[in-house]
Structure 1
């Protein structure tokens, strides 16, 4: 295994891995933006944005196309939002790594962020929230939230239909517009660290 580090002129830092014995290729990318960077009156906004990035890009606008590509090529993808960062990752067959990276990178350069997807993705976020209600870990998170200094930005918020759909409507807040503003003001190259790995990644350094 070999790893190399590079930094681009736009501030993006990358760690590139090569392993000639690997039978899967993949990449992860962390953005130094999470729940603690969102507006406190819009808890779950960062997680909602994470979901919206999967709905399409300018080059690949078809919804679900990204997941279909990964599944058709023996791979999978996922993401999670934490307090101070959000991470995205995928793995595929090594022979399609170039195309997979192209699809993946466009999440962060030209996402569609289509308004029509808003309510459906809020419902997806709500489903995750409902599924976790009985989890001991979420009870622990609830205690953390109640114990935190209210003047500090720390909070853990997955989001649900009430805080992302009902409350913003009552307050006259356009959640879609706020999500786009959040993306445009926080997702920048100098706050991202991609980490691709495959059999050989020398070609990527020349791009």
Structure 2
């Protein structure tokens, strides 16, 4: 049977429900997408959205701490979450017959997380988030490079200037009152999208969503997204850092068209070509052929409410001069911009 077109429905409290029925999949993949990320954090509270991703697994009105994950796994599924600049997404995959369990769990924490929020749970998850930051950024070679590039890409006070990881100082300053206020404003049905894919009936999913989420009041705080603004132009900022790393690295961020605007898809395709393993990619030239680098990657971080950021990361052997590596990157950028390229690599990049 063919995959049916998505069916959309909005509950009276603003929750948007999207169902894609696919009878060939004996599962239900559920994603509850909240329109909240690091760009929504109050000043001086960076990292709060990521902290909340963890707190959402620490219990709610009828679910004990850790009970959400345990219930999904006991049902034969798995669950996880992720926080970005503009969104926090909670996703689970379970056998199709366990769909209602997931919706009940998600509704219980949307409607009742503050019932389980305590000083102990906040302290525990704050330590977890601080430790994640140390493991991913502070205590690994080159770990703070991307954080500094993002800060250099936007002016002081810009909501996209700080990574979702946040600063240790801000995370340590978070209080229970901060958490409750942030939850009441952002983790509500009118700021969420519920999507379900699999061997499920759209009518049944809509009925279940109404049953479990329909009683939760909206916050009334949902507003039009902030305008993204255009890339700021040819201005360039550079920073030279000396740290204990295996070898020199050339890293860069480029302001590009915002997600959903003309040019973003083309930028994504171009960076996929450059960052991939094809004969047109940086890896082929800098790593395999010229042996100028150990790593050469490029990709796009799409943003809808700010210019998207192109990411470049070239790591060279110990003692190497970064300048020739940068020149080689610029040459490949120019070659792609003015010469196009064979159709085969472009088709492969589109498939990615």
Specify if TM > 0.5: yes
Query: Aligned pairs, how many?
Result: 199
Q: Deviations over 1:109-133 (max 9, x none)?
A: 1112233201110011112111212
Q: TM-score scaled by structure 2? A: 0.53
Return the alpha-carbon distance in structure 2 between the equivalents of residues 147 and 199 of structure 1: 44
Confirm whether residue 114 of structure 1 aligns to residue 121 of structure 2: no
Given that 1:148 and 1:154 are in contact with CA atoms closer than 8 Å, whether structure 2 keeps it comes out as: yes
Pairwise CA distance, 1:192: 0.8
- Rg larger in structure: 2
Matching of residues 83-162 of structure 1 within 5 Å:
83-111=85-113, 112-133=116-137, 134=140, 139-155=145-161, 156-159=163-166, 161-162=168-169
Given that 1:79 and 1:87 are in contact with CA atoms closer than 8 Å, whether structure 2 keeps it comes out as: yes
50, 55, 60: which one pairs with 1:52?
55
Given that 2:40 and 2:159 are in contact with CA atoms closer than 8 Å, whether structure 1 keeps it comes out as: yes
- Match in the other structure for 1:8: 11
Q: TM-score scaled by structure 1? A: 0.87
Q: CA RMSD for the aligned pairs?
A: 1.9
Moved more, 49-58 or 134-143: 134-143
Gaps of 5+ in 2: 209-352
Structure ranking higher on relative contact order (CA contacts 8 Å, 6+ apart): 1
Matching of residues 161-176 of structure 1 within 5 Å:
161-165=168-172, 168=173, 175-176=175-176
Pairwise CA distance, 1:93: 1.6
Return the alpha-carbon distance in structure 1 between the equivalents of residues 164 and 65 of structure 2: 26
Given that 1:125 and 1:159 are in contact with CA atoms closer than 8 Å, whether structure 2 keeps it comes out as: no
Given that 2:84 and 2:164 are in contact with CA atoms closer than 8 Å, whether structure 1 keeps it comes out as: no
Gaps of 5+ in 1: 169-173
